Structure 1
Amino acid sequence: MKLVYIGVLQNAQTPAVELCAERELSSYSRFTRNSVSEFTTMFSKTVAERTKQGQRQDIQEQDFTFHVYARTQGIAGVIISDNEYPSLAAHQILSKMLDEFLAQHPNAGASRDPVSFPALKTYITSYQDPHQVDSIMKIQKELDETKIVLHKTIESVLERGEKIDDLVSKSEGLSAQSKMFYTSAKKQNSCWANDREATLTVLTAGPAECDGGSLRSNRRDLACTKSLKRRY
């Protein structure tokens, strides 16, 4: 069980803006870490924009789940975890995190600029173990009475006709290198049937365990990713 990303976004307007975020990418190759970071931001914006105020959603994308909670103040919290991380624990974290964030930044819903929230580092570090979430003194009744909408894929929250490929190509937050990596991941793995699987590739590509963590190029990262997919 692991947390990959935790962030706060302003989603009162479109496109959503990442106000602050922390990532745990130590298991990724240094050659792919920047691309993974950019894609976590892009997909967090995507799901935040498609979560209504007051709504909670879990969006599964193969081995990963995007946990989203949108507050009525025009901000949303997003956690990206593996599928083994308990949904209830993730949403407890989101509730506590957003309460604390809004106490410090009550007008963040009107901001389009990054803000400082050092507590995020503690959150992503302390709650890698979901059992630590038991210490959160959040009223359980709120979560019990709130329906968490579950989606099986990111594409299921997109508007009709939208494709992940289109989001990637139009994204201003992705570098040319990240877009090239996404495209290469699809082309070099003929067993992948669609762009959703390339999404997983970006998140799983280049873990440090491959080749002793000494990958030397994106091509070797992709080869390593292919072997990982076979194992999965």
Structure 2
Amino acid sequence: MKLYSVLVFHKNVDTSNVNLLKSEFNLSSFSFFQRGSVQEFMTFTAKLLVERSGLGARSSVKENEYMCHCYVRNDGLSSVCVTDIEYQQRVAMSFLGRVLDDFMSKVPASQWPAIKSDKDCSYAGLKDLLDKWQNPRDADPMSRVQEEVEETKIVMHNTIQSVLDRGEKLDDLVKKSENLSDQSKLFYTQARKMNKCCNYV
């Protein structure tokens, strides 16, 4: 998973003009000679998405092997990130929300119209956020929980496989089990005969 850029814009609620407030890029995976063009294209695409999005909108657009995720808040403060296809949409939207909350806490809305370029904006948190969210597991608690659930599934599957690999048969385990009622054992036996359940083990 790769997070290539994050850009913060202000969309004027009255005029719909869009102004870039701050941006940060991680283009190390591109050749040195491509980086300038890639950065310009990402900035152009991000601004276009904000211009075409309504207030309060969230959207994701696929472009070749890249995804552009856009979040425009009701107050016009907006953010766009460009990721690879593997970067989850939910995580990208969480990232954009975090970026906008952090930006707003450090740059009051009264200053937004006065910012004409990156250099005019004193906000310095984008690089840290971009670096931190390169690995969603470290930045997003939901990603960590999801990965742990997936790991648990794998461990459980491997445990069942290892029991069967030692030569024990599930049929024998069911017969020996004191925790299963006679009715459950009969159901299992009939289901095995009909080959309708338990054939995954």
- For Structure 1 versus Structure 2, the TM-score category normalised by the shorter chain is 0.5 to 0.7
TM-score relative to the length of structure 1: 0.55
**Displacement of 1:59:** 0.9
Aligned CA distance change for structure 1 residues 118 and 135 (closer, same or farther; 3 Å): farther
Asked if the contact 2:71–2:96 (Cα under 8 Å) also holds between the matched residues in 1, the reply is: yes
**Displacement of 1:21:** 0.5
* Equivalence for 1:31: 33
CA distance in 1, matches of 2:133, 2:62: 20
Query: Alignment length, in residue pairs?
Result: 136
Q: Classify the secondary structure of the residue corresponding to 1:117.
A: coil
Asked if the contact 1:10–1:112 (Cα under 8 Å) also holds between the matched residues in 2, the reply is: no
Deviating beyond 4 angstroms after TM superposition, the runs of 4 or more aligned structure 1 residues are: none
* Equivalence for 1:134: 140
1:108-163 CA-partner distances (Å, limit 9, x unpaired)? 55344231221100111111112123249xxxxxxxxxxxxxxxxxxxxxxxxxxx
**Displacement of 1:97:** 1.1
**Displacement of 1:89:** 0.6
Asked if the contact 1:9–1:76 (Cα under 8 Å) also holds between the matched residues in 2, the reply is: yes
* Equivalence for 2:185: none
Asked if the contact 2:21–2:112 (Cα under 8 Å) also holds between the matched residues in 1, the reply is: no
Q: Classify the secondary structure of the residue corresponding to 2:44.
A: helix
Asked if the contact 1:15–1:45 (Cα under 8 Å) also holds between the matched residues in 2, the reply is: no
TM-score relative to the length of structure 2: 0.63
1:198-232 CA-partner distances (Å, limit 9, x unpaired)? xxxxxxxxxxxxxxxxxxxxxxxxxxxxxxxxxxx
Q: Classify the secondary structure of the residue corresponding to 1:26.
A: coil
In the alignment, structure 1 residue 122 sits paired with structure 2 residue 128: yes
CA distance in 1, matches of 2:43, 2:17: 12
Q: Which has the higher contact order (CA 8 A, sep 6+)?
A: 1
CA distance in 2, matches of 1:17, 1:81: 22
CA distance in 2, matches of 1:128, 1:85: 9
* Equivalence for 2:113: 110
**Displacement of 1:106:** 2.3
CA distance in 1, matches of 2:33, 2:17: 28
CA distance in 1, matches of 2:84, 2:3: 7
Q: Classify the secondary structure of the residue corresponding to 1:57.
A: strand
Root-mean-square deviation over aligned CA pairs: 1.7
Asked if the contact 1:65–1:82 (Cα under 8 Å) also holds between the matched residues in 2, the reply is: yes
Amino acid at match of 2:4: V
Residue 17 of structure 1 is aligned with which of 13, 16, 19? Answer: 19
Residue 95 of structure 2 is aligned with which of 93, 107, 115? Answer: 93
Q: Classify the secondary structure of the residue corresponding to 1:85.
A: coil
Q: Which runs of 5+ in 1 are unaligned?
A: 137-232
Amino acid at match of 2:6: I
CA distance in 2, matches of 1:125, 1:134: 13
